[in-house]
Structure 1
Amino acid sequence: MAKMIADRPWLWATHVWNMFDFAADGRDEGGKNGENQKGLVTFDRKIKKDAFYLYKAYWSKQPFVHTCGSRYVDRTEDVTEVRYTPTCRRFRCTWTDTWSKQKRRQSVCFQCAHHRQAQH
């Protein structure tokens, strides 16, 4: 959505559906009863979701690199695709010791092997 808005400068009154998750009494989805989780930030205002950083990449001039999916910690695959949302043209992935070159605000993927903890 952010790319679509950025590609169409003639659009006006463009906005995000909701900045924060909010109460929704009749809702029983996503593991949290009574809460709409479509906001860019969690209900308690403590966690900025990946979508927050995508919009930040389009609407801010501040340079940063965000690791997408960083809250997904219980991974089952041997090789993980790590996706970044950068605002800079070049940065280094320290996990793979790889430099990346891409267009600004374009997602970048690295394949990273990781060690799973043994299950008992």
Structure 2
Amino acid sequence: MDTVKKWRSKTYTGEGCPVEASLELFSGKGKGMILYHLLEGTLRFNELKRRLGSVTQRMLTKQLRELEASGLVHRQVYAVVPPKVEYRLTDTGASLEPILLALKEWGEEHALPILRQQAKIPAES
């Protein structure tokens, strides 16, 4: 499985580039949700998969490996049968907490209403 992410840019220069570089590390199918759920603590693969819902096993594995390669997630493998693998945020990953919580708040206030309106889905009561 190809776990080497191809970056959009080879160099990040210019005023807004730190924003793009940051998004580069945690944007992708489900990465934000993975990081958000790991804020609660260490989780096993199937616990993460259940919390994410519709993500496939292959996609979750790929995203976790990219997050691990970026230094945001730590993967701990235990030498037991059946195999036991746990994931947790690294210190760098945990430093995303205020950003992820701000994104959650912004999403509740702005993104969900916009997406509901575009899809003509009624707001939850």
| TM-score (norm: length of structure 2) | 0.22
Q: Which has the higher strand share?
A: 1
Structure ID, larger Rg: 1
| TM-score (norm: length of structure 1) | 0.22
